[in-house]
Structure 1
Amino acid sequence: MSNREIKILVVDDQLTNVSVLTEVLSSAGYTVASALSSDQALQTLRSLTPDLILLDIEMPGIDGFTTCQQIKAKPRTAHIPIIFITASSDTESVVKGFSVGAVDFIRTPFQEPELLARVQTHLQLRHVSQLYKLEQQKNEELTQLNNKLLLTQFSVDNAADGIVWIDQNSRFFYANKVACNLLEYSLDELTQLSVPDIDVNFSLRHWRKLWHTIKKSKNLSLESQHRTKSGRLYSVEITVNYLSFAEQECNVVVFRDISDRKQVEAELQLSQARTTAAFEQAAVGFAEVDMATQKFTKVNTLFCDMIGYSEAELSELTFADLTYPDDIALSRQAIQQLYSGAVDNFTIEKRYLRKDGSWFWAETTVYLVKLRGEQAIYSLALIQDISQRKRLEAERVVAEKALSLAKFAIDHTATSTFWINQDGYFLSVNKAACQSLEYSPTEFTSMAVWDITPTFSQDDWPAHWQSLKQHQHQQLETFHQTKSGRIFPVEIVTNFLEFEGEQYNFARATDISARKAAEAKINQQNQELEQTLAQLQKTQLQLVQQEKMSALGNLVAGIAHEINNPLGFVGGNVAELNSCLEELVTHLALYRQQASAATIEAHAEEIQLDFLLSDLPKMLESMAAGCDRIRNISVSLRSFARADKETKVAFNLHEGLDSTLLILKHRLKANQQRPAIQVHKQYGNLPDVFCFPGQLNQVFMNLLANAIDALDDNSHHKSYHTLETHPNQITITTWFEQDHVTIHVRDNGPGIPEDIQPYIFDHLYTTKEIGKGTGLGLAIVQQIIVDTHGGQITVDSSPDQGTEFILTLPVTAPQ
Structure 2
Amino acid sequence: MVVNSLSLPLTMFTALANRADLLMALTDRSGRIQWVNGALAKRAGITAELLIGKKFFYVLTSNAQINIQQAYIREQLLKGESFKFELFYLSQQQKEHCLLVDGQPIHNAEGITSQYAIMANDITLRKLAEKDLEQTRQRLKRLVESVKLVPWEADAITHQFTYVGPQAIDLFGYELEEWYEPEFWYSHIHPEDLLQVLKYHQVTSTEQDDYIVEYRLLTADGKWVWVKDIVNVVRTQKEITQLLGFIIDISDAYRQAAQRKQIELSLQEALSKLEQANQDLETRVHQRTIALSKEKEKLEKTLQQLQQAQSQLIQSEKMSSLGQLVAGVAHEINNPVNFIYGNLNPATEYVEDLLYLLQCYQQHYPNPTSTLQAEIEEIDLDFIIDDLPRLLSSMKVGANRIREIVLSLRTFSRLDEAEVKEVNIHDGIDSTLMILQNRLKPKTGYAQIQVIQKYGQLPLVECYAGQLNQVFMNILVNAIDALEEHDQKRSPQEIIENPSQITICTEFREGEKEIQSGEESYTPNSASSIVIRIIDNGPGITEAVCNRLFDPFFTTKSIGKGTGLGLSISYQIIVERHQGQLECYSTPGHTEFAIMIPQQQIKTKV
- Give the TM interval when normalised to the shorter protein: 0.3 to 0.5
Between structure 1 and structure 2, the one with the greater Rg is 1
* Structure having greater relative contact order (Cα 8 Å, sep ≥ 6): 2
Give the TM-score, by structure 1 length: 0.29
Give the TM-score, by structure 2 length: 0.38
